[in-house]
Amino acid sequence: MTGRLSAKALVLVSLIFVTLGSVLAMRPPAAAAASVDGVLKLMPVPASVTVREGRFQVDEMLNIAGPGPQTGRAFRAAARFMSRLAGRTGLFLKQDFLLTQAPSVEGGIRYAFARPGTLLPNEDESYSLTVDLEKITLDAKTDIGVLRGFETLLQLLSADETGYYFPCVAIADQPRFTWRGLLIDVGRHFQPVDVIKRNLDAMAAVKMNVFHWHLTEDQGFRVESKVFPKLHQRGSDGMFYTQAQIRDVIEYAADRGIRVMPEFDIPGHSTSWFVAYPEFSSAPGTYGIERKFGVFGPAFNPADERIYPFFDAFLKEMSALFPDPYLHIGGDEVEGHQWEANPAIQAFKKKNGLADNGALQAYFNKRLLKILTKYGKKMVGWDEVLQPGLPNDIVIHSWRGPKALVEAALKGYQGILSNGYYIDLCQPAEAHYLNDPLPPDSPLDDRQKALIMGGEATMWSELVTPETIDSRIWPRTAAIAERLWSPASVTSVDDMYRRLGPVSIELEELGLLHLKNPDMLLRRLAGDPRIEPLQVLAKAVEPLKNYQRHGGQAAYTSLSPFTRFVDACAPESLPARAFRKNIDRFLAGKDPLLGREIGATLALWKANHALVLPVIAASPALREIEPLSLGLARACEVGLEALDRLMKGQSPPAAWAEEKGKILAEAAKPAAHAELAVLSAVTKLVAACAGPVK
């Protein structure tokens, strides 16, 4: 079949969407039946919540009041709160809250705090929130605590036939960890200021408080240096942040209670530096901005005494630009071949008793540490910086895993965990959620546990652009935010997923594109607004996990198009997860009604292939997805047969399982850098029908 969708096909597509919407929706537990109650949507879960009888009704006369000054952070947060509340409810609020927060009537929202908060680790972010019938009271020790309380209050907003309201509650809340960060790599793919700001808004909404700005990479040097202007002029392709933009972002983040920590990755991952200053590299040559991705050889020469005055001047400039007390030097993945091949470096190592490259890097780090200390900065570095002889006042940022974090703490170093929070790897939210900087079986004592400051989600940008980055960060990072804020006892995966949906929608109001842009990408690929078959397929597949997408025939570079079908697919298919949960429930009880629902889903997925084919025929860019669509149809055909046998209690022929296993194995092969996310559930059906699939 060629050409555009026929009228009959469009009717079938509409039927698919209606049916999938009802069948794949996660069925909440009985306790969550009253979904209008905002208490059940809170994310992160507060430390303590007491639900009371009654509700505070929201109307156009709602007013808000707090202490001055009217130029303060809490005042501006209150103004943003009222604006967002009006946006959600459509109410024409009467208070001119942008000019004054003096109460016009009794009741309403009252907030108070003891002092302005400082943007430092271990600052008090606690708050108490009480919602009564006539009044809402928000108290905190700092204005940052007030900001956190406003986010909780917005999440409490509920509605029914009577209108909008806040349920009566008493909440006492504070974070579990002091460091709750998000790293955004702007070196491999530059992200404009508007991308950074909307993600800062999202961070504040889920109570994250450290923005880790990864500013230099082999693929780009992204910050203006007035002392060494050749760095950004030659190493950025013209895509960098001016110092005025940097200050603007820092101020924007501070207004939301978020620190901004810069990272300048050295001595490796540093090709873009050498475009301007090749003489500082460990090997001679002319350097160009790296377009490919991976670990590359160019590295600074620690034996060259000229680099230390250079770093002194550069870090002095950056220390003045970034007020945060911490500065990240990277330090990861020094490939080492340039060091090994340089006779002068080998002679330097021998002269100074440096046994290996690790010792050489430790020498380099000690020299940098003296510079940073002179300018009032504390050094943060990835695992590799942990070498004998480094003072204990540096912070170890662990990408290798909890074992490395424990090792650092045992030696008296503060640490931050990112292993397990690599959101660029397209792992499910569950994997991140169950990853804890301090798991129950931690071998650390209380003093050592206090050295674990928290964690960071890491958005490495090899495969993202400003159009797609939001969909790779959110909503899964909200699950990480909860892990770092909420009590360690909050571990229900199903409940986390139940709340992740509402939070995702609420984040969209901040300008995030994680829900909006996938359909835009599909329309672009199809060249047509009628993309329903593509939407159905996209919800049944996921991008390849970990670093698999870099393999095969495609050689991604920083100049590659990231507008293919896989870029429109969510890192985790929540409809596929819901389908898997339904399969598990069916196999546990053989509920006929649920079986019929599953059968309807399988039948509609199977039918979708015929609708995808004409779309593919009209768009050469989509032809790579045909194996995915065909695999889904054939897998669903197998699933329907297995389901029918299970519901009828019929045993299959002897060779049936092996035959169906071959079909499923073929469907499991990746295509278009994606894979079927629903296949494991179909495999369970076949296994239950005839034993394990061979």
Provide mean pLDDT across the span 373-388: 93
Q: Is-contact 139 111, C-beta < 8 A?
A: yes
What is the rounded average pLDDT of the residues 173-202? 98
- CB neighbours of residue 18 within 10 Å: 11
* Residue 393 binned pLDDT confidence (cut-offs 50, 70, 90): confident
Q: Does position 399 have pLDDT exceeding 90, yes or no? A: yes
Of 18-32, 84-98, 213-227, 418-432, least confident by mean pLDDT is 18-32
- Please give the structure tokens belonging to residue 464: 């993202």
How far is the C-alpha of 605 from the C-alpha of 630, rounded, in Å?
Answer: 10
Residues 113, 140 contacting (CB under 8 angstroms): yes
Within 10 angstroms of residue 76's Cβ, the number of other Cβ atoms is 16
- Do the domain assignments include residue 204? yes
Strand (E) positions, 97-203? 108-115, 127-131, 135-142, 158-160, 163-173, 179-185
Strand 452-459 to strand 541-543: parallel, antiparallel, or no bridges (unpaired)? unpaired
Query: Higher-confidence residue: 173 or 96?
Result: 173
pLDDT band at 98 (very low <50, low <70, confident <90, very high): low
Structural contact between residues 614 and 629, judged by C-beta atoms closer than 8 angstroms? no
With bands split at pLDDT 50, 70 and 90, how would you rate the model's confidence at 3? very low
Q: Quote the crossing angle between the two packed helices 343-351 and 357-374, to the nearest 10°.
A: 80
Q: Tell me the pLDDT band of 103, cut-offs 50, 70 and 90.
A: low
Residues 363-372 pLDDT 10s: 999 999 999 9
pLDDT score of 9:
44
Residue 520: which of 468, 474, 558 has the closest Cα?
Answer: 468
Q: Are residues 220 and 130 in the same domain?
A: no
CA gap 598, 27 in Å, rounded:
14
- Mean pLDDT, residues 174-200 taken together: 98
Q: Mean pLDDT over residues 203-217, rounded?
A: 98
What are 545-563's pLDDT values in tens digits?
A: 999 998 766 789 999 999 9
CB atoms within 10 A of CB 174: 18
Can you give the C-alpha Rg of the chain in angstroms?
27
Contact 540, 632 (CB under 8 A): yes
Residue ending a domain, choose from 173, 195, 218: 173
When pLDDT is cut at 50, 70 and 90, the band that residue 10 belongs to is: very low
Q: Does any domain span residue 286? A: yes
Contact 147, 77 (CB under 8 A): yes
From 31-35, 495-499, 524-528, the region with the lowest mean pLDDT: 31-35
Instruction: Please give the Cα distance from 136 to 114 (Å, whole number).
Output: 18
Q: Burial code of 358-382, b = ≥16 C-beta within 10 A, e = fewer?
A: bbbbbbbbeebbebbeeeebbbbbb
Predicted local distance difference test score (pLDDT) of residue 26 = 38
Selected catalytic residue, list 53, 125, 151, 333: 333
For residue 454, give the amino acid letter. G
| pLDDT tens figures, 642-659 | 999 999 999 999 899 999
**Does residue 251 share a domain with residue 136?**
no
Instruction: Answer with the one of 173, 202, 224 that is the final residue of a domain.
Output: 173
Residue 44: cis peptide before it, omega within 30 degrees of 0: yes
Task: Among 29-38, 216-225, 301-310, name the one with the lowest average pLDDT.
Answer: 29-38
Q: Which residues of 122-132 are buried (b: 16+ CB within 10 A; e: fewer)?
A: ebbbbbbbbbb
How many domains does the chain divide into? 3
Q: Give the confidence band of 35 by pLDDT, cuts at 50, 70, 90.
A: very low
Residues 411 and 555 in one domain: no
Matching residue, tokens 């949507």 = 41
Asked if the structure places residue 297 within a domain, the reply is: yes
The whole-chain average pLDDT of the chain stands at 92
Helix (H, G, I), strand (E, B) or coil at 134: coil
Q: Is 210 within 8 Å of 481 (Cβ atoms)?
A: no
Rounded Cα distance between 128 and 139, Å, is: 5
Output phi, psi for 144, to 5 deg.
Answer: -65, -40
Give domain status of residue 41, yes or no: no
Kindly report, residue by residue over 48-58, the tens digit of the pLDDT: 999 999 999 99
Percent pLDDT > 70 in the chain is: 92
Residue-wise pLDDT tens digits, 109-118: 999 999 999 9
Do 548 and 648 have their domain in common? yes
Whats the size of the chain, residue-wise? 694
pLDDT of the residue at 423: 98
Whether residue 544 contacts residue 571, with contact meaning beta carbons closer than 8 Å, is answered with no
Q: Residue 111: beta bridge partners? A: 138
Is residue 167 located within the same domain as residue 205? Answer: no
CATH assignment of the domain containing 449 = 3.20.20.80
Half-sphere exposure at residue 358, Cβ-oriented, CA atoms within 13 angstroms: 9
The pair of three-digit structure tokens given for residue 624, joined into one six-digit string: 């790579």
Whether residues 111 and 198 fall in one domain: no
Does residue 29 have a pLDDT over 60? no
Q: Are residues 410 and 472 in the same domain?
A: yes
Could you tell me if 166 and 186 lie in one domain? no
Q: Count other C-beta atoms under 10 Å from residue 282's C-beta.
A: 26
The answer to whether position 318 is within a domain reads yes
Q: Please report whether residue 1 resides in a domain.
A: no
> Is residue 70 domain-shared with residue 19, that is, in the same domain?
no
Conformation bin of residue 522: beta by default, left when phi > 0, alpha when psi is -120 to 50: alpha
Is pLDDT above 60 for 14? no
Same domain, 21 and 68: no
| pLDDT, tens only, 565-603 | 999 999 999 999 999 999 999 999 989 999 999 999 999
Q: Is residue 40 part of a domain?
A: no
Q: What's the confidence (pLDDT) of residue 99?
A: 62
Catalytic, 597? Answer no
Alpha-carbon gap, residue 686 to 679, rounded angstroms: 11
- Can you give the pLDDT at residue 512? 98
With beta carbons less than 8 A apart as the criterion, state whether 185 and 456 touch.
Answer: no
In which band, very low, low, confident or very high, does the pLDDT at 401 lie, cut at 50, 70 and 90?
confident
What per-residue confidence (pLDDT) applies to 348? 97
Please report the pLDDT score of residue 97 as a whole number: 65
Helix then strand then coil, in percent of the chain rounded to 5, is 45, 15, 40
Please report where in the chains the tokens 């700092």 appear, as a residue.
142
pLDDT surpasses 60 at 431: yes
State the pairing for strand pair 163-173/127-131: antiparallel
Q: What is the pLDDT of residues 469-481, one digit of tens each?
A: 999 999 999 999 9
Containing structural domain, residue 412: 179-508
pLDDT at 442 over 50: yes
Whether residue 239 contacts residue 289, with contact meaning beta carbons closer than 8 Å, is answered with: no
CB 198 within 8 A of CB 470: yes
Residue 373 scores a pLDDT above 90? yes
Quick one: which of 163, 157, 169 has its CA closest to 131?
169
Contact in structure between 677 and 573 (CB atoms under 8 Å)? yes
355 & 280 share domain: yes
Average the pLDDT over 661-688 and give the result.
96
Q: Is residue 514 part of a domain?
A: no
**pLDDT > 90 in the chain, percent:** 86
Q: What is the DSSP letter of 652?
A: P
In terms of Cα–Cα distance, which of 390, 355, 354 is closest to 372? 390
CA-wise closest residue to 628 among 666, 657, 671? 671
**CATH code of the domain covering residue 110:** 3.30.379.10
DSSP code of residue 650:
P
Is residue 242 domain-shared with residue 380, that is, in the same domain? yes
- Domain-terminating residue out of 120, 150, 173: 173
